[in-house]
Amino acid sequence: MKFLIEWHNKPKNREKLLKLLDEWKPPRDLKYLFPPHSVVAGHRGLSVVEVDNVQIIQDSLRVFLNYIEYVVTPILPLLPDSE
């Protein structure tokens, strides 16, 4: 299933968050359909992923819980595949 992940990072923890991001490796079961992007001059971002089990998202983002707040929303395509 596909999920939209939106986050808001806490500015006071920016340095620690950047260090964690450098060291973090996403799980193999997490397929990026739209890789993580940050808003320019902002403290938020988004990504679209596909996983078989939403627990994979929870487990992979757990390391960031002290530094970001995030919302995971299941999504469906608006238009049919172009294949």
- The structure tokens listed for 18 are 């950047």
Q: Render pLDDT for 22-60 as a digit per residue (tens, 0 to 9).
A: 888 888 899 989 988 888 888 899 999 999 999 999 999
Q: Render pLDDT for 66-81 as a digit per residue (tens, 0 to 9).
A: 888 999 999 998 888 7
Residues 72, 63, 47, 6: is their CA dihedral positive or negative? positive
3-state SS, residue 49: strand
Q: What is the pLDDT of residue 82?
A: 57
Q: Are 5 and 60 in contact (CB under 8 A)?
A: no
Q: What is the pLDDT of residue 18?
A: 81
CATH class, range 2-75: alpha beta
Mean pLDDT of 7-34: 87
Q: What are phi and psi of 43, to 5 degrees?
A: -120, 40
Bridge pairing between strands 2-9 and 31-38: unpaired
Q: Which residue has the tokens 């938020």?
A: 44
